[in-house]
Structure 1
Amino acid sequence: MLKFIPLAIVLLLAAPAVAAEQSPEYQRALELLAETPLIDGHNDVPWQYRTRVDNRLEAIDLNDDTTELDPPMHTDMARLRAGRLGAQFWSVYVPPAYSGDEAVRIQLEQIDLAHRLIQRHDELEFVTTADELERSFAEGRIPSMLGMEGGHVLNNSLATLRMFHRLGALYLTLTHWQSHDWADAATDAPRHDGLNEFGKEVVREMNWLGMLIDLSHVSPAVMHDALDVSEAPVIFSHSSAMGVTPHARNAPDDVLDRLPDNGGVVMITIVPSFVNEELRQWGAERAAEQARLESLHPGHPDAVESGMDDWLEANPEPQADLADVVDHFDYIRDRIGVEYIGIGGDYDGITTVPVGLEDVSTYPALVAELIRRGYSDDDIRAILGNNVLRVMREAEAVAARMQSERPASDAQFEDFE
């Protein structure tokens, strides 16, 4: 009798997921995902290759089940297909710990890795325009674009920006976790109270190129400065709503309120502490307890570790779930409209995920929840990809106009000092 208990438990746990996949909402979600490309704004698989296997493409095969790796990954080809990914921005991230020429070199290596990764898989196709994306999706492939994360990689050079764009980078997140020579990060001390004059020139040159301006990670002052300067719609490639969860990485209300005039899109992310306030508060309390114990026990890491084990046992970590994520969709819809919402998972760039959104295969469950909450088919098509396609086309049109009006900028960083 006992030997059958584990199987019974497995079946019991699996039953809700099976029932969900058989629901009318889930089946309609699959139909909508077949019609409109789900454009995911941010996936960190390229950085997984760097940190795990030093960018050796042969060492990790996305045709295999990457849940078998230690630690498991969120992405592989089978799960991309199960999740009905219609297009993917692959992040070619470089940490802000690297600077100057070294940051430029690593950026080139990550762009090279992403190109080789896309070329390796017939199901993926490198694209750079909205028309190419739609054509590739219609042909049954997963259109793949590159997004740079952190303006420090420019090494204060517009020429470097232009060459990265020529190599296929379609967006640039203006900062990562740290402020740098021309822009302030949301999670670091400000150096410029927004963008300095060179930073504003970067935004203008990105408009000229048709490169999307990504405001995830930047300070609210940078968000406002970029919206003041940009002639094209902006994106948040992986952020949520500060009005729901007041995390520094989310978009504040006064910025959301400017998006209808700009036409930009917040690609809502699943990062647990960005979408669940109880979890955000728990993280702050955990960090405070860590600091307290380190102050009480200097030079005694074992005592600190033991104290933290006791604290964690008494204060278990809360869990975010799919409903928390969709609450952010509701908030932005109710405040400014569905026209300004997209999806930006941040899979393989995070270590924990919400319950119900464990990996890239779970996107149909997200869409099914939108259906359950009353979103119309047109609303969902807009959120999946039509909003981002509009942004891409508007950025392309702005670039065509600006390039007919002036050449590339000759400005140098030193001109603004």
Structure 2
Amino acid sequence: MTETDGWVRTWGAAPQAPGAAVAALEPFADATLRQQVRISGGGRRVRVRFTNEYGTAPLTIGAARLAPAGTGHPLTFAGRPTVTVPPGAPILSDPLDLPLPALARLDISLYLPGHVASCTVHGRPVRAGWIAPGNAVLAPTPPADATPLPARALLAAVEVLPDGPATTVVVLGDSITDGFGSSPDADHSWPDRLAERAAQTGRAVHVVNQGISGNRLLNGGHGDAALARFDRDVLATPGLGHVVLAIGLGDLAISYAPRGDDSPLAGFLTMFPGGPVTADDVIAGYRQLTARAREHGVRVCAATLTPYERDDMFSSGGETARTAVNAWIRGSGAFDAVLDFDAVWRDPERPARTRDGFHADDVHGNDAGYRALADSIDLSLFR
């Protein structure tokens, strides 16, 4: 193994374009951004992937710092403390020799001296962050003039060099994967809980959450469609061994949702372009992702689509399509494993809806619901 081999991704947030679909940052200049992440698995070296992939102009990083457990370490780029990232591009920091345990929390700071008009984001911050005027990368706590960050900003991934063989599991999904409905700043999405279970058993399994709230398999709207972002968000992942496909419910729910000018959904549905899709279309999309993953030697798991009867988008046609997709996921033999999330969440008396105690709203889980999904997964699948 050379010094450039063996890297694995241990945390991620799928990049999105700023706009109406996400809580975008207003243009700013001469400011520091600080964000906290919790990695999944540990390692002896670490590097950070920043992103200007939806930026419209070059992005200058004037200083960057990584601070675990109250300490601080400057990040460099080709040995220099500053770098300019072209629009449309990501950038990796230089590796930092820093032993990190599984589930370590990291504060990552960026000083941006120039004008940032279009900031690549991830729509759900999950852990609190802040933005403050000037260069505050050394500040131990938020300055008095700091304000909260409404979204992840310019931060795409953390990668580590583990002490031995390890694998990364990437979860490609929508808001249920993203953890919408779970307690804020608590790391209670189901991929977070899966990472905790792996760490507790000593498995060298790193879990990366590439969910985007409102994302769909076949069409864009809230983030690029899963088919469009699959190479970047999944196949380009260092150490990738497994992908979990947990997407498609939004495609069907939106396609079959009640429509009409007087519908309460009329304004909401305008954020989702593209024509209606069928169960067969979603199945074809799954086949595409599976074929592309297997070209890279990646094992593929699929999660069944969870109930949504309480939601305004529910319809009998959508439920028929959801049931058909789930039957295919369970019985087709197309996947290396099936995660039957529908069976975990459905109400035995009303299988089209989520059982009481597991839902935060009409679609999404609460902390208990997400924990139940993660706890239902056989960790031996990820070898």
TM-score by length of structure 2 reads: 0.34
TM-score by length of structure 1 reads: 0.32
* Structure of higher CA gyration radius: 1
Higher helix share: 1
